[in-house]
Structure 1
Amino acid sequence: MTGAAPLFADLAEGPSGGRALWLRTADDKRIRAAIWGDGGRGTVFLFPGRTEYIEKYGRAATVLAAHGYVTLVVDWRGQGLADRAFADRLIGHVGQFDEYQRDVDALLGLAEQEGLPRPFHLLSHSMGGCIGLRSLMRGLPFASAVFSAPMWGISMAAWSRPIAHLLGRLAAPFGQSHRYAPGTGGQTYVLAAPFQGNVLTTDPGMWDYMRRQVIAQPDLALGGPSLGWLGAALRECGALAALPAPSTPAITALGTAEKVVDVAPIHLRMAGWASGRLDIYQGAEHEVPMETPAHRSRFFDAAVAQFAAHR
């Protein structure tokens, strides 16, 4: 831990008394973590998706605090207020996905240092679900897990998949890892896309919540991924797919209107997860925890029931 960090509490709408801290990872990257709530039922490690940041999960932390849980959430390297790889802050980049595990290790170290209540549980979304699955496979001490639209594959047209793999492999040898992946650029999705037809949520209130945050604090925003990130993500999804499911009890939430992650690996993984369950949300887009009130209530009710069942 290296000291207090900014927390935009008015934008987050999290529980009162939340605080943010700077952490240093083993490879000397500065990341940001926040702690919300003071309940004694356990600590929920909240792993955000690509482009996301701490404040986006303030409302989620409020729900968890009402059920007696502390929430510990992170700005992964390359996004939020954490260190970014390039002068163009809008490029989302890592060279290898195991870099994120160093962020996870720093977060666990903070939880131990702060004496946050056990048991520890995992709640992750999208890219955070990819990072989270690797953390479970490493045997990290999570009593249970809840995934939202986990990125265990990336949605893309069949014809483009071999091209994406090729670009990902060749980017580093040819010094092109820093370039935006094809079809992406330096625009933040929630500001560039209209609400109608967006791929994140069908709830206008949650859409406005996300837009307000990046309008008020542009440093939180992120654009498209780099070619380096794309190659690393495809390699990690492939590597995870080759491994058996962990023993950790898990629930995965998936919307029927999902367009961001590849749904086939999710169905395959959950079908082979002995202590896992797949929950389908009719009509929901990618961000189930930020969907309509009915979907949000169902999601968080399932999450807190999962956590309570595995104390």
Structure 2
Amino acid sequence: MDLTPAPYFRDIADGPEGGEAHWVTTKDGLRIRVGHWLPDGLPREAIKGTVLIFPGRTEYIEKYGPAAIDLGRRGFATLAVDWRGQGLADRMLDDRRLGHVQHFPDFQQDVAAVVQLAQQLDLPKPWFLLAHSMGGAIGLRALIEGLPVKACAFTGPMWGIQIPAAMRPVARILGALAPHLGFSAMRAPTTTKGHYVQSAPYEGNTLTNDADMYRFMQEQLEAQPDLTLGGPTVHWLSEGLQECAALAQRPSPALPCITFLGSDEQIVNTDAIKDRMQRWPGGELDLVQGAQHEVVMEGPAIRQHTFDRMCALFDQYRG
């Protein structure tokens, strides 16, 4: 794999110095973007390992600059990815604002490309996983299929999608009929045309209780509009529901795990998360009081608690 530089918007990332991004091509021919950071001021031989960040839907590398700072302060390097269909990666439809994927397990081809690049860059080992929201579904399948990490952490993982019970049969039927009726690429009902943080005011938002972090996300997209992604398509929703159902039938990986769930979570299905963690041997569920969906985009106290706990777990399994 050639190391082809990709744009990295350091002015909006607020990440460690020296962050870089590369283009990588997946096995099915899509171009995705992968970024990485080493801890500021720490000799390479002193780095404890690398945390592979699997972002959620609509997210992009630069959003995790502050997380890379927090991880770097605790001795870890960081890698993050623009999944297919978002960030600067190849978008799946002509209307680049629509979140879409052909088949949900296709994301595993992105994972394979990420692992190959991390190996080529010789990022410090051992490796660990931090997966958020949609990245939690991608990450869980990747772990089941042998992702080479020593321990894992999840924040608000998408192991179930928050849909009112009465609407679930409608969503399934809609997803099944969509290809035959020609509206698979239609935006899912009730979702926004633009990015959520651009259309929803801070007051009453469902992502974070920290106004500064909400503004940080807004300013990133104001500065780099190409990173913007709106609501998912009907097909994405159908695929997401199918993937959550399929993963629910699989046993938990034999890996140390901590999962952080905001007490004010409104986006993913909390029952699915609690069910998974009850059957994850040695796994721990941390219910974070005062947090919404974006646990690592909350205020300083919640971020410190979250990164302290996950890095304490990673420290235990560095050998």
Bin for the TM-score computed over the shorter chain: over 0.9
Q: Secondary structure of the residue that 2:180 maps to in structure 1?
A: coil
Distance (Å, rounded) in 2 between the aligned partners of 1:207 and 1:181: 24
Range 156-165 or range 23-32, more displaced: 156-165
Distance (Å, rounded) in 2 between the aligned partners of 1:100 and 1:165: 21
Aligned to 1:101: 108
Aligned to 1:4: 5
Structure 2 runs not aligned, ≥5 long: none
Distance (Å, rounded) in 2 between the aligned partners of 1:11 and 1:88: 25
Amino acid at match of 1:307: F
Q: Residues 50 and 125 of structure 2 are in contact (CA less than 8 Å); yes or no, is this contact kept in structure 1?
A: yes
Q: Name which of 214, 226, 231 aligns with 2:221.
A: 214
Aligned to 1:26: 27
> Given the alignment of the two structures, is residue 131 of structure 1 paired with residue 131 of structure 2, yes or no?
no
Amino acid at match of 1:5: A
Amino acid at match of 2:37: W
TM-score (norm 1): 0.98
> Given the alignment of the two structures, is residue 16 of structure 1 paired with residue 23 of structure 2, yes or no?
no
Of all paired residues, the percent bearing the same amino acid is: 52
Range 167-176 or range 197-206, more displaced: 167-176
Distance (Å, rounded) in 1 between the aligned partners of 2:173 and 2:151: 36
Q: Secondary structure of the residue that 1:128 maps to in structure 2?
A: helix
> Given the alignment of the two structures, is residue 289 of structure 1 paired with residue 290 of structure 2, yes or no?
no
Could you give the per-residue CA deviations for residues 153-203 of structure 1, whole angstroms, max 9, x where no partner exists? 011111101111111222223332211111124221101001010000000
1:226 to partner: Cα distance: 0.6
Aligned to 1:88: 95
Amino acid at match of 1:21: H
Amino acid at match of 2:7: P
> Given the alignment of the two structures, is residue 159 of structure 1 paired with residue 166 of structure 2, yes or no?
yes
Aligned to 1:302: 309
Give the number of equivalent residue pairs: 311
Could you give the per-residue CA deviations for residues 111-151 of structure 1, whole angstroms, max 9, x where no partner exists? 11111111110001100011000011102211000000000
The alignment's C-alpha RMSD in Å is 1.0
Range 101-110 or range 283-292, more displaced: 283-292
Distance (Å, rounded) in 1 between the aligned partners of 2:174 and 2:98: 17
Aligned to 1:178: 185
Range 202-211 or range 175-184, more displaced: 175-184
Distance (Å, rounded) in 2 between the aligned partners of 1:200 and 1:20: 26
Q: Secondary structure of the residue that 1:22 maps to in structure 2?
A: strand
Q: Residues 192 and 199 of structure 2 are in contact (CA less than 8 Å); yes or no, is this contact kept in structure 1?
A: no
Distance (Å, rounded) in 2 between the aligned partners of 1:250 and 1:237: 19
Distance (Å, rounded) in 2 between the aligned partners of 1:205 and 1:279: 24
Could you give the per-residue CA deviations for residues 277-309 of structure 1, whole angstroms, max 9, x where no partner exists? 000011211000001211111000011111101
Aligned to 1:53: 60
Distance (Å, rounded) in 1 between the aligned partners of 2:182 and 2:34: 32
1:230 to partner: Cα distance: 0.5
Distance (Å, rounded) in 1 between the aligned partners of 2:176 and 2:37: 40
Q: Secondary structure of the residue that 2:181 maps to in structure 1?
A: coil
